[in-house]
Amino acid sequence: MQRLIPALRQQHVSEGLISVLHTLQTASKEISFRLHQGALAGVLGSTLDENIQGETQKKLDVLANQLLKDMLLDCPHVAAVASEEEDSYVVGAADGDYLVAFDPLDGSSNIDINGLVGTIFSVLKKPADSDAANMFLQPGDAQVAAGYMLYGPATMLVLTTGQGVDMYTLDQTVGEYLQTRSQIEIPAETSEFAINMSNQRHWQPAMQRYIGDLLAGKQGPCEKDYNMRWIAAMVGDVHRVLSRGGLFTYPWDARKTDKPYKLRLLYEANPMSFLVEQAGGLASDGEQRIMAIQPHDIHQRVGVILGSRSEVQRCLDYHQD
């Protein structure tokens, strides 16, 4: 089994980018350790604070965010970092070539029940001709690397540098990520979907019709039975899609007209879309490719429909109709 850094060098990844990815994997080992200590480390429960998204922060949200931020800003190749937990980006090395956007602990509501959580990250090149205020406002197609660390029964790193998707598992005996799957391909067909059904009454009519037809099973227009899965952590649901196929969606919601979408473009939708497309799937906001969207704000939110190519296309057909 190959270790992470030699595998990246075989892909001819630049030494600067390797340094950034090495920093991310090092931080993830510390986060994984704290998570697996659980109540023994005194890191469970919530703080009294809210993040920029208006969400109550878990203690581990704060810890993971600080670990990633401090370690990335110490990397000489990182020009700036942007976190879902903070209101603005933070400048790093003046000569750094890379920008890192991250969700330090996706699915943090699962922490206190020992459920799946993860770290999602996106790496961009620092543009030479952009002013500092807009350097993160690049479409997903500009990403040079993206991935996530999944903290479950095993800690895993799932990564793309634009040359397919590889999976690594943290070997606790040597403290290294070892490649356990390479060149992941998402099956085009599926009979599994992930969506928060409790919000059904708030969706657009197109999504309501689509999900309704899935639930109709063999007797409906899709002519097959479907299973629904919902982990309540995007990182876990997307990992299942990458591992065995499926569709994941977090659609438009009518309850908040100023915030009709849940997921953030820079920290969640873009990196996950990069992974899914590299594995042969599709990723859309319902109208266009997610990675073609030009961001206007670092905390911009979007609708997400991603996964197995044929099933995502079926869902999009409902929206186009």
- Which residues fall in the annotated binding site? 84, 103, 105-109, 196, 262, 268
Q: Which amino acid is at 287?
A: E
- Dump strand ranges (E) for 161-246: 165-171, 176-181, 192-194, 227-228
- CB-based contacts of 129, cutoff 8 Å, min separation 6: none
d(CA 290, CA 286) in angstroms, rounded, equals 9
- Please tell me what DSSP assigns to residue 53: T
Distances, alpha carbon 253 to alpha carbons 241, 261, 283, in Å: 23, 6, 19
Distances, alpha carbon 77 to alpha carbons 23, 74, 81, 98, 260, in Å: 10, 9, 11, 6, 36
Which single residue is written with the structure tokens 């993206």?
146
Q: Which residues sit in the known binding site for Mg(2+)? A: 84, 103, 105-106, 268
d(CA 192, CA 162) in angstroms, rounded, equals 27
Distances, alpha carbon 259 to alpha carbons 29, 40, 251, 255, in Å: 34, 37, 12, 8
Q: Which residues sit in the known binding site for substrate? A: 106-109, 196, 262
Tokens of 307: 């996964």
Contact (Cβ atoms closer than 8 angstroms) between residue 184 and residue 242: yes
Q: Which amino acid is at 268?
A: E
Distances, alpha carbon 142 to alpha carbons 40, 153, 283, 313, in Å: 41, 33, 16, 24
Q: State whether residue 61 is helix, strand or coil.
A: helix
Tokens of 115: 């459920």
Q: What are phi and psi of 58, to 5 degrees?
A: -80, 155
